[in-house]
């Protein structure tokens, strides 16, 4: 499954490379690769494949939960698709509480101590996941599992996941993206080295720019 999803992301142009003018991530770090999973929403057949892969993952690991929680913003539509298929209630979690109205960080109807499976599109450094978990705890909800389309498998995110006591279930990851990109001739040997250099130490790589 992980190779199929990786190939689909590349074939549907969800993966971009820009080593000379790197992307700036939500963490503030820079990197040569950008994964835009929002494009998945526009490709009906691949979108269906993503939904089915999420459902397969839930069934394979016998995941149990009361609510499906989409992490704003890119995790929200995928959470909605899953919630619709499973006929379960959904909430979504902002990066921080609103400064107006009810000042909610967690939106939706829920009860204290309900369990939530989080849905994220991409886990890079894990910063948005940490923000979401802050909202989850303050809402007196419980979460120890997260679904995502892509896991960049960074050391920082692995550390954060352990600190947050979150088990991450990804449809694909950095290792399979690099393998698929090489197979499809999306990158050559130089491109592969560039990606591996960045992945080995994102912070030091970012300082070059």
Reported as a single tens digit per residue, the pLDDT across 71-80 is 999 999 999 9
CB 131 within 8 A of CB 92: no
In the chain the beta strands, taken as DSSP E runs, fall at 15-17, 23-24, 30-31, 33-35, 67-71, 90-93, 106-107, 115-123, 142-151, 167-173
Average predicted confidence (pLDDT) for the chain: 94
Residue 68 lies in a domain: yes
Coil vs helix vs strand at 142: strand
Q: How confident is the model at residue 185 (pLDDT cuts 50, 70, 90)?
A: very high
Residue 208 lies in a domain: no
Residue 83 lies in a domain: yes
Of 84, 76, 142, which is closest to residue 110 (Cα–Cα)?
142
Residue 67 lies in a domain: yes
Residue 109 lies in a domain: yes
Of 34, 35, 15, 22, which is closest to residue 206 (Cα–Cα)?
22
Average pLDDT of 129-133? 96
Residue 209 lies in a domain: no
Task: Rounding to the nearest 10 degrees, give the CA dihedral for residues 18, 24, 30, 33.
Answer: -40
pLDDT value of residue 99 = 64
Count of structural domains, the chain? 1
Residue 189 lies in a domain: yes
Residue 47 lies in a domain: yes
- Domain span including residue 106: 2-203
The CATH number of the domain holding residue 99 is: 3.40.50.2020
Distance of CA 108 to the CA centre of its chain: 21
Which residues in 93-108 are b (16+ Cβ under 10 Å) and which e? Answer: bbeeeeeeeeeebbbb
């Amino acid at each position: 499954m992980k190779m199929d999803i990786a190939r689909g992301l590349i074939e549907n142009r969800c993966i971009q490379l820009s080593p000379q003018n790197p992307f700036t991530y939500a963490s503030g770090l820079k990197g040569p690769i950008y994964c835009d999973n929002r494009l998945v929403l526009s490709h009906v057949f691949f979108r269906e494949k993503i939904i089915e892969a999420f459902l397969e993952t839930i069934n394979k690991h016998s995941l149990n939960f009361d609510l499906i929680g989409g992490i704003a913003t890119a995790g929200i539509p995928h959470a909605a698709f899953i919630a619709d298929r499973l006929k379960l209630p959904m909430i979504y979690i902002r990066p921080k509480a609103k400064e107006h109205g009810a000042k909610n960080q967690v939106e939706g109807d829920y009860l204290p101590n309900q369990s939530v499976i989080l849905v994220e599109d991409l886990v890079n450094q894990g910063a948005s996941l940490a923000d979401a978990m802050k909202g989850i705890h303050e809402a007196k909800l419980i979460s120890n599992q997260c679904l995502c389309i892509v896991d960049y498998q960074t050391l920082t995110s692995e550390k954060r996941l352990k600190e947050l006591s979150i088990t991450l279930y990804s449809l694909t990851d950095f290792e399979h993206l690099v393998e698929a990109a090489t197979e499809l001739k999306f990158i050559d040997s130089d491109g592969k080295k560039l990606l591996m250099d960045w992945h080995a130490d994102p912070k030091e790589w970012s300082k070059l720019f």
